[in-house]
Amino acid sequence: MVSLPNRRSLGILVAAIVAGYIVGLAIIALVQSPAASLDTATSPVYLIAVTIGTVAFTQSFLKTRTAA
């Protein structure tokens, strides 16, 4: 039987996705002009930026949790 993640890990995942979304928007704003960023949701640059932001946030959070 597969167990569901507890609330803390689910909260970490949601926070990581939100942080990745914000980082992705910031990178898009720096890389593209506002007129070209209308299609950000499907932009590969945006998807890569969100992935990098999510992974970086999650790793930094886990490092601080395991160090404490």
Q: What is the pLDDT along the chain (68 residues), one digit of tens a residue?
A: 455 566 777 777 777 777 777 777 777 777 766 555 555 556 677 777 777 777 877 777 777 766 55
- Model pTM greater than 0.75? no
Check if the beta carbon of residue 24 is closer than 8 Å to that of residue 46: yes
pLDDT of residue 1: 46
Cα dist from 3 to 6, 12, 65, whole Å: 9, 17, 22
| Closest of 45, 61, 54, 65 to residue 17, by C-alpha | 54
pLDDT of residue 48: 75
Please state, in angstroms and rounded to a whole number, the distance separating the CA atoms of residues 33 and 2.
Answer: 45
pLDDT of residue 17: 76
